[in-house]
Amino acid sequence: MGIFDGRRIVLGVTGGIAAYKAVEVCRRLVDAGAHVSPILTKGAERFIGKATFDALASEKVQTSLWDEDNPIPHTNLGQNADLILVCPATARLLSDYRIGRSADLLTATLLATRAPVIICPAMHTEMWEQPSVQENIRELAGRGVEIVGPEKGRLAGGDDGTGRLSDPGSIVAAVEKVLNSGVGAQVQDFFGLQVLVTAGGTKEPICPVRYIGNRSSGKQGHAIALEAAARGAEVTCVTTQPDNIFHHPQIKVVAVETANEMAEAVFSESPKSDFIVMAAAVADFTPAERHKEKIKKSKEGLEIHLVPTVDILASLGATRNDEQILVGFAAETSDLEKNAKNKLESKGIDLIVANDISAANVGFDYDTNAAVLFDHMGKKTELPLADKREIAQAVLDAALKLKVDKHEESGGN
């Protein structure tokens, strides 16, 4: 028995110097029980022979859309795959896949699938660091494509730097993670649902130059928006960090700066939302007065009078309809459970995501997070330190479960 028994994997190989390493990846996948269907691009054939993959994979290599034995190869391959792995992926492949240009069998197959996709880029450092390549990568990652590598190390031509294909062991581990955990598997369980997410820290202006802000990066909120979109939702993300969110066709981005602007955007979008996830760090106070001119340096101190902002979460808790699921966040430095439960009850919300931001690698600006979920039914779920996308997945799982339970309680079918 292998860990990939019965799983169908399309292995796309493109024309980079690391193409020879795809042979080892192919062998490991087959040894672990996978049915591997290899596709080689014309570029790949310049680096590695078809005969090698013919001998090692589960079926013969395919290279063309126009194969007489298989009239529509891309849809057969794409629809039957449990996963598509592109290893190595050239800069050309990233670009064509991003823009949806099906110029060859591999890109056509990538477009003709709903299976999760793993891309393992490999190229020289200069190519990898090109803004165009980086944009393509960010965009693809934002659509739920799992990107593995590249790593730093020796490159062709005696060079050293970032761009080296990840080692076969890491690539096979990523395949296992995606196939077994469903991360990036794009289960469409939010299809037809509207999700409103807020993200980032608000900025409260003191004068045209200065503001009162906080350290929220927006990463957790953006991860939730992306995860919801990848699972089929129509998402509106109200964010103070619009430049840092991946473009996704199902995410409408609403850029705001202040707590008041955020409140306005949220109140206008919330009536049509099935889920409202308030991940933003909204200022509790704002300067009573905004100076029109820059405040000049002076020897005397400066007093700024602050007034409370609108409590968006509490207003939503009081006005939302019974079918909506309202999710709040609590970033705490002490008494996590007590503070989170207080907020849950006092603001009338369904689910609270509490994190202890004093812990290592948790909260603001990290790519990882750890949290405890408390729901209005009294359930507590601990989420250990994980990538923010995985935390997003768990938050949406819990929110969806609450929605289903509510619907059943109200006698829906």
Q: Which is nearer to ligand FMN, 15 or 218 (CB)?
A: 15
The three-class DSSP label of residue 309 is coil
CA angle 51, 76, 2 (to 5 degrees): 65
Report the residue from 8, 92, 98, 401 that binds ligand FMN according to the rule CB under 6 A: 92
DSSP letter for 365, please: T
For residue 348, give both structure tokens. Answer: 């009338």
- Residue from 61, 122, 253, 279 binding ligand FMN (CB under 6 A): 122
Residue 120 Cβ vs ligand FMN, minimum distance, rounded to whole Å: 11
Establish if 15 lies at the interface with ligand FMN (CB under 6 A): yes
Which two three-digit tokens encode residue 404?
């289903």
Return the residue of 3, 8, 24, 43 that touches ligand FMN, per CB under 6 A. 43
Of the candidate spans 14-22, 224-232, 264-272, 367-375, the one that interacts with ligand FMN by CB under 6 A turns out to be 14-22
Instruction: Say whether residue 91 binds ligand FMN (CB under 6 A).
Output: yes
> Of 396, 65, 397, whose CA–CA distance to 223 is shortest?
396
The answer to whether 267 and 252 have CB atoms below 8 angstroms apart is no
Closer to ligand FMN by CB, 44 or 174: give it: 44
Q: Give the C-alpha separation, 64 to 73, whole Å.
A: 8
The residue within the footprint of ligand FMN, chosen from 9, 123, 336, 349 (CB under 6 A), is 123
> Among all residues, which ones are annotated catalytic?
214
The SS3 call for residue 272 is: helix
The yes or no reply on residue 73 touching ligand FMN (CB under 6 A) is no
Examine residue 109 and tell whether it contacts ligand FMN (CB under 6 A). no
Structure tokens that stand for 227 in this block: 């995860």
Residues between 265 and 284 that touch ligand FMN (CB under 6 A): none
29, 30, 93, 372: residue in contact with ligand FMN (rule CB under 6 A): 93
Contact call for residue 38 and ligand FMN (CB under 6 A): no
Rounded-to-integer distance, Cα 36 and Cα 39, Å = 10
Shortest distance in whole angstroms from residue 213 CB to ligand FMN? 40
Bridge-based pairing state of the strands 151-154 and 160-164:
antiparallel
Which residues within the stretch 289-308 sit at the binding site for ligand FMN (CB under 6 A)? Answer: none
Pairing label, strands 275-278, 194-199? parallel
Nearer to ligand FMN, 76 or 95 (CB): 95
Which residue in 14, 166, 186, 286 binds ligand FMN (CB under 6 A)?
A: 14
11 belongs to the binding site for ligand FMN (CB under 6 A): no
Region near ligand FMN per CB under 6 A, out of 90-98, 237-245, 303-311, 315-323: 90-98
Q: Are strands 234-239 and 194-199 parallel, antiparallel or unpaired?
A: parallel
Q: Which long-range contacts (CB under 8 A, 24 or more apart) does 56-61 make?
A: 56/23, 56/26, 56/27, 56/30, 57/11, 57/26, 57/30, 58/30, 58/34, 59/35
61 binds ligand FMN (CB under 6 A): no
Is 37 or 216 the residue whose CB approaches ligand FMN more closely? 37
Q: Which amino acid is at 22?
A: A
Identify which range of 9-17, 50-58, 183-191, 221-229 contacts ligand FMN by CB under 6 A: 9-17
CA distance 95 to 336: 45
Interface with ligand FMN includes 161 (CB under 6 A)?
no
- Tell which residue, 180, 148, 187, has the closest CA to residue 164: 148
What is the distance between the alpha carbons of residues 148 and 173, in angstroms, rounded to a whole number? Answer: 10
Q: Rule CB under 6 A: say whether 120 interacts with ligand FMN.
A: no
- Whether residue 39 contacts residue 89, with contact meaning beta carbons closer than 8 Å, is answered with no
Strand partners, 331: 355
Q: Segment 375-394, which members bind ligand FMN (CB under 6 A)?
A: none
**The one segment of 35-43, 53-61, 70-78, 353-361 that binds ligand FMN by CB under 6 A:** 35-43
* 158 phi/psi in degrees, rounded to 5: 80, 5
Stretch that binds ligand FMN, among 40-48, 222-230, 259-267, 294-302 (CB under 6 A): 40-48
Nearer to ligand FMN, 18 or 29 (CB): 18
C-alpha count within 13 angstroms, C-beta hemisphere, residue 119: 28
| 238 bridge partner residues | 198, 254
Q: State the binding string over 240-269 for ligand FMN (x if CB under 6 A, else -).
A: ------------------------------
Q: How many chain residues touch ligand FMN (CB under 6 A)?
A: 16
With beta carbons less than 8 A apart as the criterion, state whether 245 and 237 touch: yes
Q: Which residues bind ligand FMN (CB under 6 A)?
A: 14-18, 41-44, 90-93, 122-123, 127
